[in-house]
A and B are shown apart, each in its own frame.
Chain A
Amino acid sequence: MREVVEVLENNRVAKNVHTIRFRWKRDARPGQFVMVWIPGSGEVPLSLSYVGDIKGITVKVVGETTEKIARLKTGERFGIRGPYGNSYSYANKILVIAGGTGMCSLAPAIEMARVNYKVAFIKVFFGAKSAEDLFMLDRIEKFADALVIATEDGSLGKKGLITDFALPEIKKGFYDIVWTCGPEAMMIPIVKKCLAEGVNVEASLERYMKCAIGVCGSCAIGRFLVCKDGPVFDTKILSEIINGLGKVRSPSGRLIDYAEQS
Chain B
Amino acid sequence: MADIGVEVCGIRLKHPVMLASGILGISAETMKRAEEGGASAVITKSFSIEERAGHENPTIALFKHGILNSMGLPNPGARAMAKEIEKAKKMCRVPIIASVFGKDADEFVKACEIARDSGADAVEINLSCPHVPGTGMELGVDPNAVKEIVTEVKSCIDLPVFVKLTPNTHALQKIALMAVEGGADAIVAINTVRGMLINPMMKKPELSTIFGGYSGPGILPIGIYCVYTIYSAVGQSVPVIGVGGICRGMDAIQYFMAGASAVQVGSAVYYRGYSAFSEIANEIETFLENEGVNSIRDIIGIAVR
8 Å CB contacts to B: which residues of A33-80?
Answer: 35, 37, 39-40, 42-44, 65, 77, 79
What sequence of 0s and 1s flags, for each residue 185-216 of chain B, a beta carbon within 8 Å of any chain A beta carbon? 00000000000010101101010100000000
Q: Are A217 and B199 in contact (CB under 8 A)?
A: no
**A134 vs B199: C-alpha distance in the bound complex, in angstroms?**
36
**A220 vs B31: C-alpha distance in the bound complex, in angstroms?**
11
**A180 vs B281: C-alpha distance in the bound complex, in angstroms?**
40
Quick check: which of A136-144, A171-179, A207-215, A230-238 contacts chain B, the rest being far away? Answer: A207-215
Quick check: which of A10-18, A148-156, A196-204, A245-253 contacts chain B, the rest being far away? Answer: A245-253
Q: Are A43 and B51 in contact (CB under 8 A)?
A: no
- On chain B, the residues within 8 Å of A42 by CB distance are 56-58, 208
In the complex, what residue of chain B is closest to A220 when comparing beta carbons? Answer: B30
Closest-CB distance, A41 to chain B (whole angstroms): 9
In the complex, what residue of chain A is closest to B202 when comparing beta carbons? Answer: A39
Query: B62 is contacted by which of A77, A213, A220 (Cβ under 8 Å)?
Result: A213
Question: Is B32 an interface position by the 8 A CB rule?
Answer: yes
Q: Are A253 and B269 in contact (CB under 8 A)?
A: no
Q: Are B77 and A254 in contact (CB under 8 A)?
A: yes
Closest-CB distance, A225 to chain B (whole angstroms): 8
In the complex, what residue of chain A is closest to B205 when comparing beta carbons? Answer: A39
In the complex, what residue of chain A is closest to B267 when comparing beta carbons? Answer: A215
In the complex, what residue of chain B is closest to A42 when comparing beta carbons? Answer: B57
**A212 vs B71: C-alpha distance in the bound complex, in angstroms?**
12
Question: Is B80 an interface position by the 8 A CB rule?
Answer: yes
Closest-CB distance, A172 to chain B (whole angstroms): 31
| Chain B interface size range | 35 or more
Question: Is B27 an interface position by the 8 A CB rule?
Answer: yes
| Chain A interface size range | 20 to 34
Of the listed residues A4, A43, A253, A255, the one surrounded by the most CB atoms of chain B closer than 10 A to its CB is: A253
8 Å CB contacts to A: which residues of B234-293?
Answer: 266-267, 269-270, 274
Known contacts A77-B202, A218-B74, A223-B29; decide if A252 and B53 are in contact (CB<8 Å). yes
Closest-CB distance, A244 to chain B (whole angstroms): 9
Query: A217 is contacted by which of B27, B69, B206 (Cβ under 8 Å)?
Result: B27
- On chain A, the residues within 8 Å of B69 by CB distance are 211, 216
Query: B54 is contacted by which of A81, A210, A214 (Cβ under 8 Å)?
Result: A210
Known contacts A223-B29, A223-B33, A253-B26; decide if A43 and B62 are in contact (CB<8 Å). no
Quick check: which of B17-25, B126-134, B152-160, B224-232 contacts chain A, the rest being far away? Answer: B17-25
Question: Is B147 an interface position by the 8 A CB rule?
Answer: no
Closest-CB distance, B132 to chain A (whole angstroms): 13
In the complex, what residue of chain A is closest to B64 when comparing beta carbons? Answer: A1
Question: Is B52 an interface position by the 8 A CB rule?
Answer: yes
**Can you offer 10 A-B residue contacts whose CB atoms are under 8 A?**
A2-B61, A35-B58, A37-B202, A42-B58, A43-B59, A44-B57, A79-B201, A213-B60, A217-B25, A250-B76
3 closest A-B pairs by CB: A217-B26, A4-B201, A254-B76
Binding site for A on B (CB under 8 A): 22-27, 29-30, 32-33, 45, 51-54, 56-63, 67, 69, 71, 74-77, 80, 197, 199, 201-202, 204, 206, 208, 266-267, 269-270, 274
